[in-house]
Amino acid sequence: MSAQALSHEDSSPAGLLAAYDAAHDELGSPPQSRVRAALEGAAQRGTPLTHLALRSAGVGSQGAQAVAEVLSRDTNLTQVSLEDNALGDDGAAAIARGLNGHPSVFRLNIGYNEITGRGLRGVAELVAAGGPLLCLDLSGNNFYQNVAVAMADVDAKSLAALVDGLLRNTSLVNLRLGENNIDARSASLIGKLLRGNTALTSLDLRDNKLADAGAATLAAALAANSSLKCLVLWSNGIAEQGAPSPAAPLSWHCAAAVASVLSEQPSLRILDLGGNAVGVGGVEALKAALLRNRSLHTLGLANAQLGHEGGIALAGAIEGNAHLTRLDLRRNSLHVAGLMALRLAMKTNSALLEVAVDTAFVGEAAEDRELEQSFAAEIKAACAANKDRTHNEASAVPGEAAAALGGTDPSRPDSSGGSRALDLLARKGLPAAEPTAAAAECRALGRARLQALGWNLLARGMASDGFEVEDVLAEPPADDESAAVARAARNLSAVVDPLARWARVREAVAAYSPDLIAVQELDWLPEAIGGLAALGYECGGSGAPLRAPPYAPPHTQLKPTPADEPPPLASYLAVLEASGRAFAPKVPSVCRQLKVAAGEASDAACDDGICLFWKSGAWEAAAPVEYCGSSNAAGRCRAHLRVRLRRIADGAPLTAVVAHLGSGSSAGAEALRLAELEAPTTLLAPHVLGEPRREVAGPSLLGCLREAVAANEPTLLCLDANSEPDRADRAAGSVWAAVRGVEGVRSVWEEWFDSSGAPTGAAAAQPVSTNKRRGQLSRQPAKVDEHACRLIDHVFYTAPTLALPEHAFGPVAFADEAAALAAPLPSLAVPSDHYPVVVDLLLQPAAEVGAEATPENGGLASGGEGAAAEEEEAAAAAATASAEAAEAAGIEAAAAAAVAAAAATAAAAAAEEEKAAALAEAAAGEEAAGKAVSEAAAAVEQARAAEATRIETEKAAEEEAERLAAEAAAAEAAQAAAAFSAAAAAEKAAAAEKAAAAEAAAAAEAAAEAAEAEAAATRVRLEEEAAAEAARAAEAARAEAEKAAEAEAERLAAEASQREAEEVAAAAAAAVADWTANGDSAVTAVDGSDDFAALLFAPAAAASAFEEAPPMGAETEKVKPLDPDALDAFF
């Protein structure tokens, strides 16, 4: 069967394997063994293929055609590595075509594949199309190496095409172009990229041929760039004659050019100039820039020909620098003077955490070697002290939250092939919690695990609404407000790119594989249905999810109503019910209003809503989805969902309720949310043929829980409450207290809060589920500058049918507000303004539902033969007691009956006498009854009139209340506007004061710099004098020792024979050489890893290897630039 004949929708592992084999059949070539093994393994496991790692697999140009067929089909892929596979231009172009339009691949490595003209143009088309691609590695392709001189312009145009594609791309953040023979002529193209691209954050240009002219071009472009965070220029240069020569690196002029823009560059955080002849002149230029720069935290200057003079100059730069945290100075022959200056500078520096200097000093004089080792040890100790102080300042953050704020390499697959590229989890190192003792105990009782994931996904229509993201928090230029606003908008656009965010959400689902996924603020339902169906989830509805008819937003299906009337709730519910999906949007929503305001067509703009997905292989719907709807006077329709499920394996029931309450932090907003909890809802009655659908009363949110508890029905409530447990005004009532007040309802957060919402531990340990702040770009003025760092996302459950052993996603907490503001949401790590809530629960088997909980069964309800036997014995005892009581009662009743019979005979005679009198009275009563009936009819009529009057009065009162509410709202809005104007005026005045203070500070700083420069000059002079004095003393000692050794040799020669004299003389000469000279091959050694990145990102392990490494000779030792894989932890 041909590859084209296979279904393109079959993205299963087995389908991918079949497509790969079919493609090779068409090509007439055998499949490549490693590729096929990867596909076959995934097919055997039955798990989606998310990573394709095929480094040096011998794919080749022709094999790339078959791999491209797999790429175009596998919508689960997130990372593709085809490094060193001899793809060539044709293979690279095929891979690019296969990935064009791919929904989730965010990392592509096609380095070292001999790619030049056509291949580059194919890659250019891929990046120009946009999409989720975040990292692209084109290293080692030597763009011009195998191209004739006549074809050079052709390939230059290919590089230009790549740059043009990147200029149209708004999602790529990491680009690697190392070892590609990019020279000064091509530097103008890279400069064009830096000027026009606002998404790129990391650019690696190591081992190219830029030379000083090319570096100057890049420096000029860097001055116009405000988004780049990492720039690697390791080992770039050509010889004066123009022939390529790695030994002719960039000179100090390059460092000076970069330094000229570094002082004002607001975004650059990592700069590597190692492997170039920076020298003391370059350090002097960098020194001035470092004293002004506030963003750079990592500087690489390894093997930069600094010498002791460069070390002294650099010491002056780090003395007062409070921002630089990592510095690489290996292989620079700093000697005693340079190390001494750095050691003195570290006494006043509290920011540097890592300073990499040589610790093995081969060839140095013994005295110097001892001093250098001592100074290097003191520098290391000073860094360790800074690190300990930093750690202690952050120690209030709990362990799991500290891991959340830390970072491991996020984007490299682990050894088992699993994903550590999870942007949501691994980019910030958010681990799954360790199993607790309670979890182990419950599992020992045989209870089945149930995992639920609740997450407010941040609607796309809301995502660009002025959130302050990490890059925006840097101080903008004080005199250029418009540039700061533009930069904030660009940064936010890069963080909330919809395709990249959706890829991260799917990665989270694939990593956890929960049973249930309950989400809020979902406004891309069609993509969610298709993307999660590929991972094995459904949300109800009919037909195959991937072949469902085009999605029509519910608001487009509602019948039009007069402008003064809200859309009928029944129509809204009918539209939801017709879909059959567990999805309920708010109609209309603020999300859609923002989309329309941004220019999106009203019919195409979707409202956001709540949705429930369940794992289709493990669960099935036990009943149609219930849409419990309500509407307000403004015509806004909404509903909460109630979905009854059944576990396929054992038939265990489970009910899931999903809701999203109104926003707002005021007491009035909380009162409205409390009303939402108890508000009655509306359901549509079952359809009866030939009759219109009837509306019937539905349960409130709390009603759903009360019904579940009464029926002993396992139920989850996944709720974005927009309300935290420990509200300051909780004494007046809160959502938390109302839900926890339902008997038998528990929360996954009750470890931190009691039933009233009062915290049970330290404030720093309290978890949060959102951490966001909107800036001036927001279109919701009331929310500008409001820092929402609260716990508002909840999962409640009914006990004892459910129990909580552990949190699968470790709760996140911050030590204080400053720590929270340093890690705002959304981010590249977390694709929403909310953290997910992922919990493991234990669900009792179906046979035990309805039984009573006991301590013996772990607090969960249980049943079985023992309980049934006890019930039967109790029933038998009760029946015996009843029979005995009945027998005694029968005897007493017989006696009483005899007495009653006699009395009845007497009464009958009296009754006969009274009968005649009663007949006479009846005639009179009949006449009175007629009169009473007439009076009653009149009273009924009066009551009806009074009821009509009451209804009319109530209606008038309601209308008056609505009018007063509208007036109050208008007054409140006017008051808010006035307050906003006043705040703006105050802010303007504050800005003026700040500008004046800044001028004064600048003047003070200039004076301080002048004083510091004078002090540094004095210090250098004194150090030089001390060094000269030490050198003179050493020379005198050496001459004295030499003179004594010569005298001793002469004495020995005179006392011995000629032969003995010659031997002694030779020994004396050797002694002189050993005493006076230590050789001129003073080569310093580096750590065994040969990689500064190891010292940066795994400091403990690197330090150990550094200390234990044996000395190396110059001919075998090589210092490398920063490792780009390790640098990914920053992005």
588 cis-preceded (ω within 30 degrees of 0):
yes
The DSSP 8-state label assigned to residue 605 in this structure reads P
Q: What is the DSSP string of 139-152?
A: TT--TTTT--GGGH
Q: Is the pLDDT of residue 900 over 50?
A: no
User: How open is the CA angle 316-321-324, to the nearest 5 degrees?
Assistant: 115
Could you read off the pLDDT of 330-343 as tens digits, one per residue? 999 888 888 988 98
What is the Cα–Cα distance from 399 to 764, expressed in whole angstroms? 12
Is residue 423 within 8 A of residue 409, CB to CB? The reply is no
Question: Tokens at residue 639, please?
Answer: 């509903």
Question: Tokens at residue 813, please?
Answer: 């907490």
> What's residue 843's pLDDT?
85
- The pLDDT confidence band at residue 785, using thresholds 50, 70 and 90, is confident
The DSSP 8-state label assigned to residue 765 in this structure reads G
Q: Is the pLDDT of residue 589 over 90?
A: no
Is residue 191 within 8 A of residue 218, CB to CB? The reply is yes
Q: Is the pLDDT of residue 146 over 70?
A: no
- Give SS3 for 1091: strand
Is residue 218 within 8 A of residue 210, CB to CB? The reply is yes
- The pLDDT confidence band at residue 379, using thresholds 50, 70 and 90, is very high
Q: Sign of torsion, CA 263 267 272 273?
A: negative
Find residue 1091's DSSP bridge partners: 1120
Which residue type sits at 1013? A
954-963, 1057-1066, 1088-1097: which has the minimum mean pLDDT?
A: 1088-1097
Q: Smallest Cα–Cα separation from 672: which of 659, 661, 657?
A: 661
Could you read off the pLDDT of 526-543 as tens digits, one per residue? 889 888 887 789 998 753
Which residue type sits at 526? P
What is the Cα–Cα distance from 568 to 635, expressed in whole angstroms? 8
- The pLDDT confidence band at residue 1056, using thresholds 50, 70 and 90, is low
- The pLDDT confidence band at residue 882, using thresholds 50, 70 and 90, is very low
- Over residues 1004-1008, the mean pLDDT reads 64
What is the Cα–Cα distance from 796 to 743, expressed in whole angstroms? 12
Question: Tokens at residue 804, please?
Answer: 């909580």
Q: Is the pLDDT of residue 110 over 60?
A: yes
What is the Cα–Cα distance from 467 to 832, expressed in whole angstroms? 11
Q: Which of 4-8, 812-816, 1074-1078 has the highest mean pLDDT?
A: 812-816
Where are the chain's structural domains?
A: 437-547+571-850
| CA 106 centroid distance within chain | 15
692 cis-preceded (ω within 30 degrees of 0):
no
Is residue 358 within 8 A of residue 1086, CB to CB? The reply is yes
- Give SS3 for 598: coil
Could you read off the pLDDT of 451-507 as tens digits, one per residue? 999 999 999 888 888 888 776 434 444 456 777 777 777 777 767 878 768 877 887
Q: Smallest Cα–Cα separation from 179: which of 83, 60, 305, 304?
A: 83
Crossing angle for the helix pair 307-318 and 865-1055, to the nearest 10 degrees = 140
Question: What percent of the chain is predicted at pLDDT more than 90?
Answer: 28
Greater model confidence, 619 or 858? 619
How would you classify residue 211: left for phi > 0, otherwise alpha for psi between -120 and 50, otherwise beta?
left
Q: For the CA atoms of the chain, what is the radius of gyration? A: 40
Q: Smallest Cα–Cα separation from 566: which of 628, 629, 627?
A: 629
> What's residue 551's pLDDT?
64
- Which backbone phi and psi does 561 adopt, to 5 degrees? -125, 160
> What's residue 510's pLDDT?
77
> What's residue 867's pLDDT?
40
> What's residue 390's pLDDT?
76
Listed in sequence order, the residues at least 6 apart from 74 whose beta carbon sits closer than 8 Å to its beta carbon are 11, 16, 48, 49, 52
- Give SS3 for 254: helix
- The pLDDT confidence band at residue 1033, using thresholds 50, 70 and 90, is confident
> What's residue 49's pLDDT?
84
Within 10 angstroms of residue 85's Cβ, the number of other Cβ atoms is 28
Could you read off the pLDDT of 118-133 as tens digits, one per residue? 899 999 999 999 888 9
Q: Is the pLDDT of residue 983 over 90?
A: no
What number of CA atoms fall less than 13 Å from residue 761's CA on the CB side? 12
Which residue type sits at 764? A
Alpha helices in 346-431 (DSSP H): 366-393, 399-405
> What's residue 968's pLDDT?
58
- The pLDDT confidence band at residue 848, using thresholds 50, 70 and 90, is low
Q: Which of 223-237, 483-497, 648-662, 1039-1053 has the highest mean pLDDT?
A: 648-662
- The pLDDT confidence band at residue 1089, using thresholds 50, 70 and 90, is very low
Question: Tokens at residue 98, please?
Answer: 């296969």
CA dihedral 144, 147, 153, 159 (to 10 degrees): -40
Q: Is the pLDDT of residue 82 over 90?
A: yes
> What's residue 985's pLDDT?
59
Q: Smallest Cα–Cα separation from 111: which of 153, 54, 69, 155?
A: 54
- Over residues 791-809, the mean pLDDT reads 90
Q: Is the pLDDT of residue 629 over 90?
A: yes
> What's residue 67's pLDDT?
94
Q: Smallest Cα–Cα separation from 821: which of 409, 469, 510, 480?
A: 469
Q: Is the pLDDT of residue 1093 over 70?
A: no
> What's residue 1105's pLDDT?
29
> What's residue 892's pLDDT?
45
Topology (CATH level 3) of domain 437-547+571-850: Deoxyribonuclease I; Chain A (3.60.10)
User: How open is the CA angle 643-554-514, to the nearest 5 degrees?
Assistant: 35
Could you read off the pLDDT of 860-881 as tens digits, one per residue? 444 333 444 444 444 444 444 4
**Mean pLDDT score across all residues of the chain:** 74
Is residue 173 within 8 A of residue 1131, CB to CB? The reply is yes
Greater model confidence, 257 or 292? 292
> What's residue 613's pLDDT?
97
> What's residue 681's pLDDT?
93
Listed in sequence order, the residues at least 6 apart from 364 whose beta carbon sits closer than 8 Å to its beta carbon are 335, 372, 1078, 1082
> What's residue 458's pLDDT?
93
> What's residue 511's pLDDT?
74
Listed in sequence order, the residues at least 6 apart from 615 whose beta carbon sits closer than 8 Å to its beta carbon are 513, 514, 515, 516, 536, 537
User: How open is the CA angle 663-664-665, to the nearest 5 degrees?
Assistant: 135
- The pLDDT confidence band at residue 66, using thresholds 50, 70 and 90, is very high
Q: Smallest Cα–Cα separation from 73: which of 123, 134, 14?
A: 14
Q: How far is CA 238 from CA 220, 246, 400, in A?
A: 20, 7, 50
Q: Is the pLDDT of residue 165 over 70?
A: yes
Could you read off the pLDDT of 393-412 as tens digits, one per residue? 655 433 333 333 233 332 32
Question: Tokens at residue 1003, please?
Answer: 């003047």
- Over residues 160-184, the mean pLDDT reads 91
| CA 750 centroid distance within chain | 25
Question: Tokens at residue 740, please?
Answer: 């926890």
Could you read off the pLDDT of 564-583 as tens digits, one per residue? 455 678 888 988 988 889 99
> What's residue 150's pLDDT?
37
Is residue 358 within 8 A of residue 328, CB to CB? The reply is no
- Over residues 599-621, the mean pLDDT reads 88
Q: Which of 297-311, 379-393, 463-477, 886-900 has the highest mean pLDDT?
A: 297-311
> What percent of the residues of the chain are helix, what percent strand, and what percent coil, each to the nearest 5?
50, 15, 35
User: How open is the CA angle 769-771-775, to the nearest 5 degrees?
Assistant: 150
Strand ranges, E, within 940-1064: none
What is the Cα–Cα distance from 2 to 22, expressed in whole angstroms? 5
Within 10 angstroms of residue 1131's Cβ, the number of other Cβ atoms is 18
DSSP β-ladder status, 135-137 and 174-176: parallel
> What's residue 649's pLDDT?
83
Q: Sign of torsion, CA 141 144 148 151?
A: positive
What is the Cα–Cα distance from 847 to 834, expressed in whole angstroms? 38
Q: Is the pLDDT of residue 112 over 90?
A: yes
Could you read off the pLDDT of 17-48 as tens digits, one per residue? 999 999 999 988 899 899 999 899 888 888 88
What is the Cα–Cα distance from 522 to 80, expressed in whole angstroms? 29
> What's residue 596's pLDDT?
83
913-917, 1096-1100, 1127-1131: which has the minimum mean pLDDT?
A: 1096-1100
Listed in sequence order, the residues at least 6 apart from 980 whose beta carbon sits closer than 8 Å to its beta carbon are 781
